[in-house]
Amino acid sequence: MDFAIDVDGLVVRRGGRTVLHGISTQIPAGSITGLLGPSGSGKTTLMRAIVGVQKVAGGQVTVLGKPAGDPALRQSVGYLTQAPSVYADLTVRENARYFASLYPGITSADADQAIVDVGLGDAANQLVSTLSGGQFSRASLACTLLSKPKLLVLDEPTVGQDPVLRDELWKKFHDLAAAGATILVSSHVMDEAGRCERLIMIREGEIIADDTPAAVRAKTGTDDLENAFLTLIREKVAA
């Protein structure tokens, strides 16, 4: 199988504390993988290591065949930070067009399309500082999608969005994956887990499940992924 991401024995220490304890996982190309776990479990740190912005203490991360953070990857990896990272004192369109201009071959039309894709077509000329919280994070998402990356690393992209929009965003992610993109999306909401093709469940810097949602359900004997997660934690604690 072709892997878009290969994490091998990744160790990350932050502020004297070990955040990731030698994690290993492989993420197939063209898939949607959910990264699930409670707040503080190491989801963001793992994503940052994959994008190549995290200092690592050990292990290897290979992304699209290159070491994570390789300059050649900057065009093909799109990263959505958990806190929206766009300029509050620019309009949505100005933000998108600026970020589009940083990528070779990406045009203003791509920027405008990404704005429509995240449902901000009507707010394109609005200053980001005047947007609602949900719109603010979608403006940030638009700036990640516009470069048409081969790998999308999305840190909680659907938090605070209304259910209809959340559904539309997930459809968009599936469209992108169908077109060949690999998507790694984190969430602490278990009801989103069912929308992923694969799940990586992480707790206190260790992977406690790495499988398809169906396999996780079967293994734990429950249909509810929230309960499945609990069962896995209890098994781990008991072991």
Partner 1 sequence: MNGRRLFNTTGRVLGQLRHDKRTLAMIIVVPALLLTLIYYVFNHNRFIFNHVGLIMLGIFPFVLMFLITSIAMLRERTSGTLERLLTTPIGKMDLLFGYALAFGLVAAVQAGVLTAVAYWAFGITIAGSVWLVVLIAVADAILGMALGLLCSAFARTEFQAVQFMPAVVFPQLFLCGLFAARDTMQPVLGAIAKVLPMTYAVEGLEQIGANVTPTAIMWRDFGIVIGAAVVALALGAATLRRRTD
Q: Which residues would be at the binding site for partner 1 (CB under 8 A)?
A: 14-15, 51-55, 69, 71, 74-75, 77, 79, 81, 83-91, 94, 98-99, 101-104, 127, 143, 147
In terms of CB distance, is 15 or 163 closer to partner 1?
Answer: 15
33 in Cβ contact with 200 (< 8 Å): yes
137 in Cβ contact with 88 (< 8 Å): no
185 in Cβ contact with 35 (< 8 Å): yes
In terms of CB distance, is 68 or 193 closer to partner 1?
Answer: 68
Place of tokens 């599936």: 174
In terms of CB distance, is 127 or 208 closer to partner 1?
Answer: 127
Query: Can you tell me whether residue 215 is helix, strand or coil?
Result: helix
Shortest Å distance, C-beta 55 to partner 1? 5
Question: CA 13 from chain center: how many Å?
Answer: 21
Shortest Å distance, C-beta 38 to partner 1? 22
Shortest Å distance, C-beta 14 to partner 1? 6
In terms of CB distance, is 83 or 238 closer to partner 1?
Answer: 83
β-strand partners of 226: none
Count how many residues are written for the chain: 239
Shortest Å distance, C-beta 119 to partner 1? 21
In terms of CB distance, is 110 or 210 closer to partner 1?
Answer: 110
β-strand partners of 27: 5
Shortest Å distance, C-beta 169 to partner 1? 19
In terms of CB distance, is 25 or 45 closer to partner 1?
Answer: 45
The residue type at 94: E
Shortest Å distance, C-beta 75 to partner 1? 5
Query: Can you tell me whether residue 52 is helix, strand or coil?
Result: coil
List, in order, residues 6 or more apart from 226 with CB less than 8 Å away.
190, 191
231 in Cβ contact with 68 (< 8 Å): no
